[in-house]
Amino acid sequence: MSARSLAALLLLLFTAGFAFADDPKLPETKVFDKMVIDSLREVHNKGADLYNEAKDFPGAYRLYQGALMAVRPLLAHRPEVQKIIDTGLAAAEKAPDLPDGKGPDFARKAFLLHETIENVRKHLKIAIGEKKPDDKKDDKKPDDKKKDELAKQSDLVEVAPPPRESKPR
């Protein structure tokens, strides 16, 4: 066998191996959606730090906006969630400017996108069965849960009516 035919045979075998190689597989939908939920949680937490601690409202807005724009095409299998993203981005874009022409109200815009991210996460959790549509447990902050527990406890305590004052005769 000549060197030329040996090289051609090796090249043919080498390229044939690529033709039969498995295409990279995406994770199943439930796993993928969970990754998006977790990623948006990280974005939300970072944005909350920018918004609440650093008072960097434009930074929080742009972080939320970029994250929503990045995950939107990845959720083609969830058109209802894409609609939530589109509506949230449009609402933030249309938010009124600050009074006296001082520019965009980035605090309001960031808050609207914060709500959008929370809504997207909630719908994805419902879609993968991690949360029921009427399940309110994740919608409350820990402080709100404590208040609810205290309210329930105070409902159980009976309060006696104040004593009547006796009038002198």
| Residue-wise pLDDT tens digits, 51-68 | 999 999 999 999 999 999
**pLDDT for the residue 37:** 95
Q: Using CA atoms, how far apart are residues 66 and 73, in angstroms rounded to an integer?
A: 12
Rounded distance, CA 97 to CA 116, Å?
20
Domain containing 90 equals 26-130
Answer whether residue 143 is part of any domain.
Answer: no
Residue 146 pLDDT level (bands cut at 50, 70, 90): low
> pTM for the full model?
0.65
The tokens for 49 are: 């730090």
Residue 138 belongs to a domain: no
Query: Which amino acid, 37?
Result: I
CA pair distance 89, 62, nearest whole angstrom? 11
The tens digit of pLDDT for each residue in 84-123 reads: 999 999 999 999 988 888 899 999 999 999 999 999 999 9
Identify the band that residue 80 occupies on the pLDDT scale cut at 50, 70 and 90. Answer: very high
Torsion, CA 45, CA 49, CA 50, CA 55, rounded to 10:
140
In the chain, the amino acid numbered 68 is: L
Q: What is the DSSP letter of 133?
A: T
**Is 152 a member of any domain?**
no
- The pLDDT, as a whole number, for residue 155 is 42
- 21 inside domain: no
Kindly tell me if the per-residue pLDDT of 24 is higher than 90: no
Task: Tell me whether residue 116 is in a domain.
Answer: yes
Quick check: helix, strand or coil at residue 132? coil
Q: Mean pLDDT for the chain?
A: 79
Question: What average pLDDT score do residues 18-27 get?
Answer: 59
pLDDT of residue 162: 43
